[in-house]
Amino acid sequence: MTTVSNPPLSSRMCTQEQLESHRFRAWAERLAEEPARLHRKLWEYCYIAEALAERGMLQPGITGLGFAVGTEPLASLFASSGVTVVATDMDPEEAAAKGWVDTNQHAAGIDALNDRGLCPDSVFRTNCSFRAVDMNDIPEDLTGFDFVWSSCAFEHLGSIEHGIQFVVNAMRCLKPGGVAVHTTEFNCSSNDATLTEGGTVLFRRRDFEEIARRLHADGHDITLDFTAGSLPADHFVDLPPYKQDVHLKLMLADYVCSSYGIIARAAS
């Protein structure tokens, strides 16, 4: 899927150019999505898949761990590539209390993870298992994975600090040289004021720089890129109730936000 004319993805924000590239369109088709849809959630799925594919992670013999998978299609997509996947989400009672069940954003078990039929059911049930996991308290036995991922999840852990600490802690789940790919909310409009606590927090540039500082201190590798897009969709801000076809940036509280992807490689 990757060609030499396309440099590998780094940690960066969502842009129109990426969604319109042949790499992202190919992933959109595999995800049974409309390739022309300029939506940041589609970008998150394609970004995670492409980042892992570039690093040789989507093939038989590889193991992956997903956090807060909800009803996203990635566990199914990865299982169809021969990856052995452990998909996790919060305990069903806790999810119900927080409203994730009512909004169909929680996976109570493995049956919810192959709704799009991206993987033959027999293959999926062989390659994928499910486990309830609290992202603020990752079990110590979840180790030795080739890669870990989360899609727009760690902004819901209660605070900026909890989100940062999750990214740091999740590196312990990896083998030496393993890969972590996460997406989350990026406050594009302020590097100062933001939502720091609550059900959804918004990470600023300085928060991603703090993540990088802590990962580097532990010997891990991460490069940050804050290049913003310059095409028309990159300048459009969707407003509540978010009904527009173009949805790369949106207004959350008083802030213009987009999605930001993190790619880190564990120390060897």
Q: Give the chain's end-to-end CA distance (angstroms, integer).
A: 26
Whether the per-residue pLDDT at 1 is higher than 60: the answer is no
Beta bridge partners of 148: 65, 180
**Tokens 């036995």, located at residue:** 141
Region of poorest pLDDT, from 26-40, 91-105, 164-178, 194-208: 91-105
Judge whether residue 101 has pLDDT over 60. Answer: no
What is the C-alpha to C-alpha distance for residues 127 and 85, in angstroms, rounded to an integer? 6
Q: Note the pTM of the prediction, 2 decimals.
A: 0.92
Reduced to 3 states (helix: H, G, I; strand: E, B; else coil), residue 232 is: helix
Domain ranges (residues) in the chain: 12-265
> Does the pLDDT value for residue 97 go beyond 90?
no
Which residue stretches of 37-119 are H helix?
40-54, 74-80, 92-97
Which one, of 73, 105, 62, 69, lies nearest residue 87 by Cα? 69
pLDDT per residue over 129-178, tens digit each? 999 999 999 999 999 999 999 999 999 999 999 999 999 999 999 999 99
Between 115 and 181, the higher pLDDT residue: 181
Average pLDDT for residues 253-259, to the nearest whole number?
A: 97
- Residue-wise pLDDT for 46-95, tens only, equals 999 999 999 999 999 999 999 999 989 999 999 999 999 999 998 765 64
CATH fold for domain 12-265: Rossmann fold (3.40.50)
Give the C-alpha separation, 133 to 73, whole Å: 19
